[in-house]
Amino acid sequence: MARKLPNDVIASWPEVFGDISIKAIPAEYLQSIRVTFTDKEVWEIQMDSKEILEDGVTAEEVVAEMLEEYEDQIASIDFRVHTQKVKRDMIKNTRKFMKGKFKKK
Round to whole Å and give the CA distance between 2 and 19. Answer: 12
Round to whole Å and give the CA distance between 49 and 32. Answer: 9
> Does residue 103 have a pLDDT over 80?
no
Mean pLDDT along residues 51-62: 68
What are the strands, taking DSSP E only, across 13-57? 21-22, 30-37, 42-46
> Does residue 82 have a pLDDT over 60?
yes
> Does residue 85 have a pLDDT over 60?
yes
Tens of pLDDT, residues 60-79: 787 788 889 998 999 988 88
Domain count, the chain: 1
Q: Which residue has the higher pLDDT, 51 or 12?
A: 12
pTM above 0.75, yes or no: no
Find the domain containing 27 and state its range.
Answer: 3-101
- Closest to 14 in 3D by CA, of 105, 87, 91: 87
Burial of 64 (0-12, 13-18, 19+ CB in 10 A): exposed
